[in-house]
């Protein structure tokens, strides 16, 4: 008798029409109260469990829902909200979540204790190699843990009342500690494990008593290069958790287990989930090493991409595993948080491309089909799946001879600027005659409600193209006028016409499709709609030149052209799985190179090529870094090298630590890099200083994530700190990142102070 069960590790929570975003933003604006927000959350959970049940999943997953972020929910679950927030019992858990997430704008405790709260939000960083950002737990010697499981248990009860069999998902204790930051340098987060484990055990006991059959405990760090003491800690931790008597499904994903494979298989848990997409080559070894009766859960459906699964190929992989083990669980490789909810409303997608795709809901159906096929029941859906896979494989729309020929013909040295940096720098200084400490911004200015409303009206046909364009031209004129008035040296057009820095280019490049509702959560209520890169990439026509030339025509000061780099376009799109990422990046690089050439030909002398996702694209295992960095940095240079020596190329990076890839950042050979540093109080720059970063650099002096307007003294202090490690002649003055999420009033005030600080430095 063979047993098959289906489940998901997590499900998107934002809602088909971003209902969670709407509910959150209404709550934050004061337009609704906690009861409405809670009701919206409950409705989404119920709907998503119903989808899982309707697709025949054996277990629904509880605990993956969060109003802001699942890591923040765990900070509350384990009672380790940082003491600096000064929460008291009067503050509701929701208010406290938003205080941690959004900093001092929260009216926590009625705003009475703001001074004691230490104000600023928890740091936010990338969840492994995804474009999802989590709130970083803060750990120190005084961190204490207490169980606050009321919300989680209430959600379990909700699901049970709806008649579902429940599996709870939790972030594992080692991964939770690993993801946190040490408030004190030298503090070892692992030393907290002893205090944390009893709280986990107590939680597992409670969940068992509540009738929860399985608890999925996520330990994705088992796919990382772990220090030996962290590896050792797994054995003791899971031995202790086993005492709870709970059935634990230990979940790993995003990366092969490699040297941790034996460890993962040995741990005293009831089951092990492995990533059958990124670690497909390890399935046989895991099957060998995972002793029966432990359950093997195979993440056979790609949770990080949107292509239909080749179900025949999947069955070929799964059937022998089922034969050997007698029991198998089937799942997506990781949580479905990273893909859009459903294809159902994507009526504008090209029908061919649409037939090749599976979003979260369709992936549930794939699991059901696999289960049916493997259990010998009829699976009529297999035929449709087969036809779609075949249609994609033979489609003439995927391959372009012209693109292939261009890639083939790429000359050696196509990734090199004409002259070395020193020569270029002299030419550019003579051309632009900028003052010392030149001031600039990163590209976007506030995406106001008016801008978004105009674009929404244009898209639904309520605003004619000409009127939309003239509205955007007026927004650009406004941004240019504001920058001139503030006294910035290098201006930008402000990106009013862009919905998103990647989607905007995806919409215009051949080889990309885009969705109407394919939202994926980026952080909190903020979402992105990653374009779908299905075919060879080419640029049909210039994409940014008219807007930039319009802006340049409004000012005698240089206006920076603003492009997104090839690696970031690749990284923030759903990309092809039928050719190496390196080749796709090269195709994008060539298309973007044409845009650089056209901007330059139109008289734009400074061009920024944003690469915020360069670091995020790094493979999770260090052994694979070199290969990635070689092709990724080459892709950037191919784009940039269309620039003549007197054209100044900027790049911009944010949302990551960069010190471990400094040589590769230098190898981009951008004339100027603007980089996020203010949140780390310029600590990042120590690495740049020690490394003697050769080109010009603009360390962010203003944290755009905070509504707080930095004063001139604070900015000057940061600049003086920067000038201690970077030669003053190479320093630029700019914010950390784009200003699209900010309002105009705070933006103008902050930039005015920034310009004043630069003037003080010059004096
Ligand atoms: C720099 N970042 C980015 C990342 N990834 C990207 N793909 N892009 C990025 O910029 N990763 C790292 C960071 C993450 N940071 C952010 C910051 C801000 C957002 C954000 O604001 N997202 C918006 C959606 C942006 C967008 O696509 N806008 C569209 C649609 C606007 C919209 O919602 N329209 C409404 C109607 C509005 C009206 O009528 O008034 C609708 O369609 O219903 C546009 O401008 O046209 C967000 O709101 O979440 C994301 C990541
Ligand atoms: N030019 C973009 C970069 C964001 S990382 C912006 O300013 O929004
Ligand atoms: Zn940025």
Using one digit for the tens of pLDDT, what is the confidence trace for 1-34? 789 999 999 999 999 999 999 999 999 999 999 9
CB atoms under 10 Å from CB of 183, counted, come to 15
Question: Residue 119 — very low, low, confident or very high, per pLDDT cuts 50/70/90?
Answer: low
Rounded average pLDDT over 82-93: 89
358-379 average pLDDT score: 94
Q: Does the active-site annotation cover 120? A: no
Give the ligand with the smallest distance to the CA of 443.
2
- The preferred substitution site among 500, 507, 518, 567 for testing ligand 1, maximizing ligand atoms within 8 Å of CB, is 500
Please determine, for residue 680, whether its predicted confidence score (pLDDT) is greater than 90: no
To test the pocket of ligand 2, the residue of 610, 653, 673 to mutate (highest count of ligand atoms within 8 Å of its CB) is 610
Per DSSP, 91 falls in state: S
Q: What is the pLDDT of residue 681?
A: 76
* Residue 317 pLDDT grade (very low, low, confident, very high; cuts 50, 70, 90): very high
* Mean pLDDT to the nearest integer, 554-570: 98
User: For ligand 1, atom 14, which residue shows the shortest CA distance?
Assistant: 522
Residue 385 contacts residue 366 (beta carbons within 8 Å): yes
CB neighbour list of residue 601: distance below 8 Å, 6 or more residues apart: none
pLDDT band, very low/low/confident/very high, at 104 (cuts 50, 70, 90): low
Which pairing describes strands 295-301 and 327-332: parallel, antiparallel, or unpaired?
Answer: parallel
Q: Would you say 358 and 306 are in contact if contact means Cβ atoms under 8 Å apart?
A: yes
| pLDDT tens, residue by residue, 287-303 | 999 999 999 999 999 99
DSSP H or E run through 170: strand 166-171
CA angle 368/370/372 to nearest 5° reads 70
Distance (angstroms) between ligand 2 centre and the Cα of 620 equals 25
What does the pLDDT read at residue 184? Answer: 75
Protein residue whose Cα sits closest to atom 8 of ligand 2: 738
State the catalytic residue, choosing from 7, 273, 338, 705.
705
* Cβ neighbours around 538 below 10 Å, total: 17
Measured in Å, residue 737 CA sits from the centre of ligand 3 at 4
For this complex, say whether ipTM is above 0.85: yes
For ligand 2, atom 7: residue with the closest CA: 738
Please name the residue whose Cα sits nearest to atom 6 of ligand 2: 738
Query: Other C-beta atoms within 10 Å of 229: how many?
Result: 9
Q: Which residues of 579-588 are buried (b: 16+ CB within 10 A; e: fewer)?
A: eebeebbbbb
Closest CA to 122 of 147, 97, 86: 97
Indicate whether residue 340 lines ligand 2 (CB < 6 A). Answer: no
Q: What integer pLDDT is reported at residue 115 of this predicted model?
A: 36
pLDDT, one tens digit per residue, over 251-291 is 999 999 999 999 999 999 999 999 999 999 999 999 999 99
* Four-way CATH pick for 3-82+122-348: 3.60.20.10, 3.40.50.150, 1.10.290.10, 3.20.20.210: 3.20.20.210
The pTM score is 0.96
pLDDT in tens, 620-664: 999 999 999 999 999 999 999 999 999 999 999 997 778 889 999
Spatial separation of the C-alpha atoms in residues 743 and 67, rounded to whole Å: 24
How confident is the model at residue 21, as a pLDDT? 98
CB distance 741 to ligand 1 below 6 Å: yes
User: Per DSSP, which regions of 446-577 are E strands?
Assistant: 491-492, 509-513, 520-523, 526-528, 532-539, 559-564
Task: Return the pLDDT at 379.
Answer: 75
CA neighbor of 170 nearest in space, from 71, 246, 60: 71
Residue 272 near residue 290 (C-beta atoms within 8 A): yes
How many whole angstroms separate alpha carbon 482 and alpha carbon 196? 52
What secondary structure letter does DSSP report for 347?
A: T
Q: For 512-523, what is the mean pLDDT? A: 97
CA-nearest residue for atom 4, ligand 2, is 738
The whole-angstrom separation of Cα 652 and Cα 561 is: 13
Detail the residues annotated as belonging to a binding site.
18-21, 126, 131, 442-444, 495, 526-527, 572, 610, 616, 652, 654, 676, 737
Residue with tokens 């052209």: 561
Q: 498 CB under 6 A from ligand 2? A: no
| The pLDDT of residue 121 is above 90 | no
| 654 touches ligand 2 (CB under 6 Å) | yes
CA distances from 458 to 516, 677, 736 (A): 14, 38, 31
Relative to beta strand 648-653, strand 606-610 is parallel
Which helix (H) or strand (E) is 427 found in, with range?
helix 421-432
Q: Give the DSSP H or E segment for 446.
A: none
Query: For residue 118, what pLDDT band results from cuts at 50, 70 and 90?
Result: low
CA 125/CA 717 separation, integer angstroms: 25
- How many of the other CB atoms lie within 10 Å of CB of 393? 11
The stretch 465-482 carries a mean pLDDT of 98
Angstrom distance (rounded) from CA 609 to CA 107: 39
As beta bridge partners, residue 299 has: 275, 331
Q: Using CA atoms, how far apart are residues 8 and 170, in angstroms rounded to an integer?
A: 13
What is the reported pLDDT for 114? 37
Domain with CATH 3.20.20.210 in the chain: 3-82+122-348, 422-508+543-762
3-state secondary structure of 757: helix
Please classify residue 396 by burial: count the beta carbons closer than 10 Å to its beta carbon, then call 0-12 exposed, 13-18 middle and 19+ buried. exposed
Pick from 312, 201, 325: nearest CA to 271: 325
- From the list 35, 63, 366, 48, the residue with the least C-alpha distance to 204 is 63
What's domain 422-508+543-762's architecture? Alpha-Beta Barrel (3.20)
Token representation of residue 738: 């784009």
């Amino acid at each position: 008798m063979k047993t098959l069960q289906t489940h998901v590790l997590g499900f998107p929570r934002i809602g088909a029409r971003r209902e969670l975003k709407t509910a959150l933003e209404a709550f934050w604006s004061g337009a609704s109260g906690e009861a409405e927000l809670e009701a919206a959350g409950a409705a989404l959970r119920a709907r998503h469990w119903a989808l899982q049940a309707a697709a025949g999943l054996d277990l629904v997953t509880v605990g993956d829902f969060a109003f802001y972020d699942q890591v923040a929910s765990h900070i509350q679950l384990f009672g380790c909200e940082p003491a600096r927030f000064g929460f008291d019992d009067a503050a509701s858990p929701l208010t406290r979540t938003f205080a941690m997430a959004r900093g001092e704008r929260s009216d926590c405790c009625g705003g009475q204790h703001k001074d004691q709260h230490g104000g600023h939000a928890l740091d936010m960083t990338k969840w492994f190699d995804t474009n999802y950002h989590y709130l970083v737990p803060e750990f120190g010697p005084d961190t204490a843990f207490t169980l606050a499981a009321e919300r989680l248990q209430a959600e379990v009860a909700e699901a049970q009342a709806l008649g579902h069999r429940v599996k709870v998902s939790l972030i594992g204790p080692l991964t939770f500690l690993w993801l946190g930051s040490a408030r004190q340098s030298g503090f070892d987060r692992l030393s907290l494990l002893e205090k944390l484990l009893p709280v986990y055990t107590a939680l597992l006991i409670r969940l068992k008593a509540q009738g929860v059959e399985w608890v999925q405990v996520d330990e994705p760090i088992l796919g990382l290069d772990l220090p030996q003491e962290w590896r050792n800690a797994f054995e003791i931790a899971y031995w202790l958790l086993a005492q709870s008597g709970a059935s634990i499904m230990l979940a790993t994903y995003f990366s092969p287990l490699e040297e941790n494979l034996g460890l993962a298989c040995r741990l005293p848990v009831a089951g092990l989930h492995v990533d059958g997409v990124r670690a497909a080559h390890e399935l046989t070894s895991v099957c060998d090493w995972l002793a029966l009766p432990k359950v093997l859960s195979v993440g056979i459906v790609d949770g990080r991409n949107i292509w239909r699964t080749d179900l025949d190929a999947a069955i070929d992989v799964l059937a022998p595993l089922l034969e050997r083990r007698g029991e198998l669980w089937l799942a997506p490789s990781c949580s479905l948080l990273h893909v859009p909810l459903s294809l159902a409303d994507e009526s504008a997608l090209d029908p061919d491309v649409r037939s090749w795709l599976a979003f979260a809901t369709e992936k549930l159906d794939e699991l059901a089909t696999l289960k049916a096929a493997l259990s010998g029941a009829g699976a009529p859906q297999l035929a449709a799946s087969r036809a779609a896979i075949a249609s994609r494989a033979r489609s003439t729309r995927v391959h372009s001879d012209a693109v292939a020929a261009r890639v083939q013909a790429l000359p050696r040295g196509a990734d090199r600027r004409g002259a070395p940096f020193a020569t270029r720098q002299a030419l550019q200084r003579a051309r632009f005659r900028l003052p010392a400490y030149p001031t600039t911004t990163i590209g976007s200015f506030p995406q106001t409600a008016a801008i978004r409303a105009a674009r929404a009206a244009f898209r639904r046909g309520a605003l004619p193209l000409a009127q939309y364009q003239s509205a955007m031209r007026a927004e650009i004129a406004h941004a240019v006028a504001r920058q001139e008035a503030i006294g910035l040296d290098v201006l930008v057009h402000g990106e009013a016409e862009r919905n998103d820095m990647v989607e905007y280019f995806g919409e215009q490049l051949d080889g990309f499709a885009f969705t109407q509702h394919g939202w994926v959560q980026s952080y909190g209520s903020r979402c992105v709609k990653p374009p779908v890169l299905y075919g060879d990439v080419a640029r049909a026509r210039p994409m940014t030149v008219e807007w930039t030339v319009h802006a340049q025509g409004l000012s005698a000061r240089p206006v920076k052209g603003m492009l997104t780099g090839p690696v970031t376009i690749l990284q923030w799109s759903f990309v092809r799985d039928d050719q190496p990422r390196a080749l796709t990046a090269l195709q994008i690089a060539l298309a973007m190179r044409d845009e650089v050439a056209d901007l330059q030909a139109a008289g734009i002398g400074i061009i920024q090529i944003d690469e915020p996702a360069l670091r995020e694209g790094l493979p999770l295992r260090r052994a694979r870094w070199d290969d990635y960095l070689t092709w990724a940095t080459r892709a950037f240079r191919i784009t940039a090298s269309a620039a003549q020596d007197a054209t100044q190329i900027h790049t911009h990076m944010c949302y990551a630590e960069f010190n471990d890839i400094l040589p590769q950042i230098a190898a981009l050979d951008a004339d100027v890099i603007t980089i996020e540093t203010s949140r780390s109080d310029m600590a990042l720059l120590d690495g740049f200083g020690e490394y003697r970063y050769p080109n010009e650099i603009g360390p962010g002096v203003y944290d755009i994530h905070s509504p707080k307007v930095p004063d001139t003294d604070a900015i000057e202090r940061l600049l003086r700190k920067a000038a201690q490690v970077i030669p003053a002649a190479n320093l630029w003055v700019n914010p950390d990142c784009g200003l699209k999420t900010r309002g105009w009033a705070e933006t103008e005030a902050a930039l005015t102070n920034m310009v004043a600080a630069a003037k003080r430095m010059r004096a």
